Amino acid sequence: MKTITLFAILFFAAMQNGFTSVTDTPDGKKNMAVVAPELILVNHVGFKPQSEKIALLRVKAGKFAIVNCKSGKEVFTGKPGPLKYWEHSGDSVSTADFSTLTVPGTYQLVIGKNAVVSYPFVINRDVYSDIAKASLKAFYLNRSGMDIAEQYAGKWARAAGHPDTMVLVHASAATASRPEGTVISGPGGWYDAGDYNKYVVNSGITTYTLLLFCQMYPEYCKTLNGNIPESGNGIPDVYNELLYNLRWMLTMQDPADGGVYHKLTNKTFCDFVMPDKATDHRYVVMKSTAASLDFAATMAMASRVFAKTTYPELKMLSQTCLAVAERAYAWAKANPAVYYQNPSDISTGAYDDNQLNDEFFWASAEIGLATGNVSMVSGKEIMDQKIMVPSWDYSGMSGIVSLALSESTGFETQRNLAKKQLLMYADKLVSKAQQSPYHVSIDFFKWGSNSDVANIALLKLVAARISKNPVYYKSVQGDLDYLLGRNATSYCFVTGFGAKQVMQIHHRPSGADGITEPCPGFLAGGPNTIVLNDCPGITRSTFPAKSYTDSQCSYSTNEIAINWNAPLFFLLAAADAQDK
């Protein structure tokens, strides 16, 4: 995008969406007209008073002002930095820093005499409270086998779908004790993404992420009321929500040999119908080494976290989790190369992975920490891990994180090595953000790029915890701002929030319920150029940071997924917890 001067702003503004839009402030006052909002990129939700506050300007300007929406008065003026080009977005932006503005209120950023006016944003100590709760509530809205009640879901209430109490054993999963066609029960759990299936590999990294949050922020968990059916039962709601999925995962282990089925699924993806209308037969499909290892790691992590709580039910469950983890790990050791592939009659998500050194490392690290068996993790294995953003198909970093945070006696050598590896990578991430015109660490845009931004922030938060260095918290703000609007598309990528909202997510309940707004609290997958032709007739940008469309057909950019919402919740709730 060429540099735009103030002389051209008014003409350009008239061509932009939002030229005359007016929105309400929380106190009922009217904000100024939003003019040419695409020229100002800002976190639509807002900032805590003491946080760094940065907007990006896609226009050459000598100064900018921050205006209080209630009084209409300028409360801050500043001079933006130089325009810098970002190769991933194909445009140039300058930095408008107003970090010293700390007075709570609702504001807009203005260039010229209201020639360009940003979307409104809030400065408030509790600015992330509602969106953090919504990102957790999204898991409830995606529960399988349960009526989603109006009391908890409002207008997104729906009938239960997929009780999964009569699931068939697929031919690929058949054994002498459970031959093909055997009926088993696998109720509960979360729908994985925009479809209605449930996958152990993806459930593992998702549940682990929520368990990690419980480990790092136990006091915050005690105070968070998620307004779900289990609220008030004596167990914090973050635990309550992850338990709904963890108990489903327990049903995916074959009691005869300890191996774990890869997924519970229809044979094909269903149409965009509500869950109770999707009534095709359900199957457990093939045991796999990856599923067994991810299951083992997650259950071992759960056993550690539950054992340290004061809740009797969780302390008892801790013992069960460790026992099933060890059985699954033993099956994987005996079957180290059972790589998942979809059978010929199954066409739902594969989550296939033929490189399992990282899964073996993660599972051995978690079981070693849970049992106190130091011999399960060697220094060489730690050093051999790829130090990168964690994802469903690369879980070695999860083992690094667990070891770095561990306080277990005897693991000092492993802990120090893991800390060194993690902090070196976190420093690289911070350096990337400091050099980026967009003030973010991400410089790759694969499928689900927004989840990579959230997971990058998660790693920085772990680095801050183990180092006590505030530079990581400062960098996390940039990742948060990106997801909430300060990105090349100007969308707030969390449904139900922001001035420019994602509306057409690839999510069957949201697409079939007849409600204009999508289920709130979900993180849209985000821009990437991996698949450009999922929406016929829609041409996406070839710049990866702009290659996004808010269209239901765009499963490559606008689907939701549980493993994307878990780091989103982690980031939002950690931000909400800070300074409280």
Q: Catalytic annotation on 366?
A: no
Residue 323, both tokens: 């026992």
Residue pair 296/328 in contact (Cβ under 8 Å)? The answer is yes
DSSP for 488-547 reads: TT--B-BTT-SSSB----B-HHHHHS--SSPPTTPBP----SS---SSTT-PPPSSGGG-
Give the whole-angstrom CA distance, residue 285 versus residue 198: 11
Residue 10's closest CA among 118, 120, 114?
A: 114
User: 110-139: buried (b, 16+ CB within 10 Å) or exposed (e) per residue?
Assistant: bbbeebbbbbbbbbbeebbbbbbbbbbbbb
Residue 63, both tokens: 């100064």
Count of residues for the chain?
A: 580
Task: Point out the catalytic residue in the list 38, 164, 195, 534.
Answer: 195
Task: Point out the catalytic residue in the list 230, 313, 393, 550.
Answer: 550
Task: Point out the catalytic residue in the list 254, 479, 559, 576.
Answer: 559
Residue pair 158/274 in contact (Cβ under 8 Å)? The answer is yes
The single-letter code of the amino acid at 365 is A
DSSP for 157-178 reads: -B------SSEEEPGGG--SSS
Q: Catalytic annotation on 550?
A: yes
Give the whole-angstrom CA distance, residue 450 versus residue 482: 9
Give the whole-angstrom CA distance, residue 504 versus residue 204: 27
Q: Catalytic annotation on 381?
A: no
Give the whole-angstrom CA distance, residue 304 versus residue 522: 29
The single-letter code of the amino acid at 437 is P
Task: Point out the catalytic residue in the list 164, 506, 513, 534.
Answer: 506
Q: Catalytic annotation on 345?
A: no
User: Can you state the angle between helices 357-371 and 289-307, rounded to 10 degrees?
Assistant: 30
Give me the active site residues, please: 195, 506, 550, 559
